[in-house]
Structure 1
């Protein structure tokens, strides 16, 4: 499990970005990859899965 912070999330469009706490990489997250509802600045745990345009955050849960 990776840990990070929600940098941006647009509820109406259903996507955003999570910044990994260790690598400082930012990963795309889609509403289909959420376990819990998230908002900007939420602390989350997540897994990474290869998507069409690189790694995506999936199984995203608030800490």
Structure 2
């Protein structure tokens, strides 16, 4: 597997996990805690998937 394919696979897995978590978290009230903020990719994805929710990074 090339380094590019490995990178794409890792980011695809990250997105898929975040989407699954967002679906579960959407039914729970309160702020969302996001750990491991690097360059904001995860935070931005959560912001789009959970509009109106407070996200603490």
| TM bracket (short chain) | under 0.3
Structure (1 or 2) with the greater helix fraction: 2
Q: TM-score, normalized by length of structure 2?
A: 0.20
Structure with larger Rg: 2
Q: TM-score, normalized by length of structure 1?
A: 0.20
